[in-house]
Structure 1
Amino acid sequence: MLKTYKLYIGGKFPRSESGRVYEVTDAQGQWLANAPLASRKDARDAVVAARKAFAGWSGATAYNRGQVLYRVAEMLEGRREQFAAEVAAADGLPAAKAREVTDAAIDRWVWYAGWSDKVAQVVGGANPVAGPFFNLSTPEPTGVVAVLAPRRSSLLGLVSVLAPVIVTGNTAVLVTSHTAPLPALSLAEVLATSDLPGGVVNILSGDTAELARPLAAHRDVNALDLAGADGELAAELEAAAAENLKRVLRPAPGADDWSADPGLARMTPFLETKTVWHPVGA
């Protein structure tokens, strides 16, 4: 019997509202499993869950968020062989290479976890002003971020776009790669059994364009990562996002080398800077 996966919304595993599923095959065309074909209603439900979780997650201490992400990395490592097998099937890699990629994805998750209580020190700071005031700038999370997972690099690319969104206090609605959703759907099982609060990450599988369009137009989505959109779809989604002033991260051509040092490039686009003035001596 082939496994039939479910969506991950609000910390639970519902079936798609439409009842639809689709067959997931490996690089050679062999049938691996059934994945849910999420609908626009599922996308709206995921946004509601992400918004509900935002206050608690963004209000948690940076140290606490980091510890939660470290725990996720530990659980990923505990299921290393399962993820390596899924990566091999999804990305068409030899077993040894798939293990290397899986290890890199675990390391990447740990790397982002370590930034939880450091990014504010790097991005924020005390500003020199002409007057008897302290002027302090601190980064704050943007809100609900819709993330389109890369079409290739089913685990390392996935981790590279998801971890920087949530480590900075945002909540996420992730649309998996249509052709290689299994690592993302298995990651949902890891997240559900870790300490991550329900709704911080919501995972939808299905047709990328069908799900991305309502998310780009949704007025309760604050930002959009177009890592998994091609040129024509990305331009359409940018236009929809512009109508309600979403932040949009559209990767430059050639920016999909997921093995490269990520730097801060995927954390800072989903942060807003708050500046506070305070009288000296008061």
Structure 2
Amino acid sequence: MSESTEARLSVFKTYKLYVGGKFPRSESGRVYEVNDAKGNWLANAPLSSRKDARDAVVAARKAFGGWAGATAYLRGQILYRVAEMLEGRREQFVREVQDAEGLSKAKAAAVVDAAIDRWVWYAGWTDKIAQVAGGGNPVAGPFFNLSSPEPTGVVTIVAPQDSSFLGLVSVLAPVIATGNTAVVVAAEDRPLPALSLAEVLATSDVPGGVVNILSGRTAEIAAPLAAHQDVNAIDLAGADEQLAKELEVAAADNLKRVLRPQPVDWSADPGTSRLTAFLETKTVWHPTGSLGSGGSSY
């Protein structure tokens, strides 16, 4: 067969949601245009509906027991595997960050490298945060008293709008590193790095449902998630002042833990504050001396 001199047709990428380890289209069938920093069309992204948000919560709740019950060491190994795969797809993420944020290739590469390094950093914390956030407590009496951190549950994350990849990693990695499961509302105008991250998660060892990623109108998706009775906490990193107030009111209905938005330099050392933001403290009392090995927890 003779070689064709005609130009190839471009094969455009179809972006989908990530829910329960699968890639569904939006239940509504809607999409919206995603443009680069110069206004040029990049792709059509799924426009998530309230039903998509509810499905994501169901998936996150189903995955929570197994993920929270995994050893901290195993979670660290799984998260490190994600970093390995991000490194292997580095050029793709550089291109997507460059388009989304209007950066030069060199600056976009620096952002992606920082995001991968941050993922590794949080992977290393999985089996260390208990020593920082827990420990023995002084008790008056024939007892000893231990406090240990446990995950809060299902956490909704309103991803940062200004940092489509580094900011996203900075809010997502600590949530799942500590045993929570997540429903992520990707940056409204820059969702493509988040949707590509879903492909990495799906082909790594992260169990389906541990991370669920939705794209679309932030306010439209976040509102039902903030009010959902099976969501335990919400990170408002990407919400503006007005939306944050509305979501905080909705979250109060079942006493969700709320992390309010605040100015963040995503390139700075993140510290441990986001690791401890969605942890609960369990305190266990045990008798000492000749009283036996039994105990009670409160």
Q: TM-score range by the shorter chain?
A: over 0.9
Pairing 1:197–2:207 present: yes
Residues 98-136 of structure 1 show CA distances to partners (whole Å, capped at 9, x for unaligned) of 000000000000000000000000000000000111100
Residue 144 of structure 1, aligned match among 134, 143, 154: 154
Query: Which aligned pairs between 1:220-259 and structure 2 lie closer than 5 A?
Result: 220-252=230-262, 254=263, 256-259=264-267
Pairing 1:5–2:18 present: no
* Per-residue deviation, 1:212: 0.4
Secondary structure class of the residue paired with 1:14: coil
Residue 220 of structure 2, aligned match among 210, 231, 235: 210
Residues 35-90 of structure 1 show CA distances to partners (whole Å, capped at 9, x for unaligned) of 00000000000000000000000000000000000000000000000000000000
Secondary structure class of the residue paired with 2:286: strand
TM-score scaled to structure 2, two decimals?
A: 0.93
Kindly provide the amino acid, as one letter, of the partner of residue 99 in structure 1.
A
The answer for the alignment partner of 2:178 in structure 1 is 168
Contact 1:70 1:110 in 2 (8 A): yes
Residue 165 of structure 2, aligned match among 151, 155, 171: 155
Contact 1:185 1:203 in 2 (8 A): yes
Residue 49 of structure 2, aligned match among 27, 39, 56: 39
The answer for the alignment partner of 2:284 in structure 1 is 276
Q: CA separation in 1, counterparts of 2:230 and 2:261?
A: 23
Kindly provide the amino acid, as one letter, of the partner of residue 83 in structure 1.
F
Secondary structure class of the residue paired with 1:75: helix
Kindly provide the amino acid, as one letter, of the partner of residue 258 in structure 1.
W
Q: CA separation in 1, counterparts of 2:273 and 2:45?
A: 31
Residues 7-35 of structure 1 show CA distances to partners (whole Å, capped at 9, x for unaligned) of 00000000100000111100001111110
Residue 108 of structure 1, aligned match among 102, 105, 118: 118
Contact 2:239 2:261 in 1 (8 A): no
The answer for the alignment partner of 2:192 in structure 1 is 182
* Per-residue deviation, 1:3: 2.0
Q: CA separation in 1, counterparts of 2:69 and 2:164?
A: 31
Secondary structure class of the residue paired with 1:134: strand
Contact 2:53 2:221 in 1 (8 A): yes
Q: CA separation in 1, counterparts of 2:65 and 2:207?
A: 11
Kindly provide the amino acid, as one letter, of the partner of residue 33 in structure 1.
A
Secondary structure class of the residue paired with 1:266: helix
Kindly provide the amino acid, as one letter, of the partner of residue 67 in structure 2.
W
Residues 210-236 of structure 1 show CA distances to partners (whole Å, capped at 9, x for unaligned) of 000000000000000000100000000
The answer for the alignment partner of 1:24 in structure 2 is 34
Pairing 1:72–2:82 present: yes
Residues 132-172 of structure 1 show CA distances to partners (whole Å, capped at 9, x for unaligned) of 11100000000000001000111100000000000000000
Secondary structure class of the residue paired with 2:282: strand
Q: CA separation in 1, counterparts of 2:236 and 2:119?
A: 20
Q: CA separation in 2, counterparts of 1:192 and 1:269?
A: 26
Q: CA separation in 1, counterparts of 2:12 and 2:160?
A: 25
Contact 1:58 1:169 in 2 (8 A): yes
Kindly provide the amino acid, as one letter, of the partner of residue 184 in structure 1.
A
The answer for the alignment partner of 2:64 in structure 1 is 54
* Per-residue deviation, 1:2: 2.8
* Per-residue deviation, 1:244: 1.0
Secondary structure class of the residue paired with 1:74: helix
Contact 2:100 2:190 in 1 (8 A): yes
The answer for the alignment partner of 1:260 in structure 2 is 268
Structure 1 unaligned spans of 5+: none
Kindly provide the amino acid, as one letter, of the partner of residue 253 in structure 2.
E
Number of aligned residue pairs: give it. Answer: 280
Secondary structure class of the residue paired with 2:156: strand
Contact 1:2 1:34 in 2 (8 A): no
Structure 2 unaligned spans of 5+: 1-10, 293-298
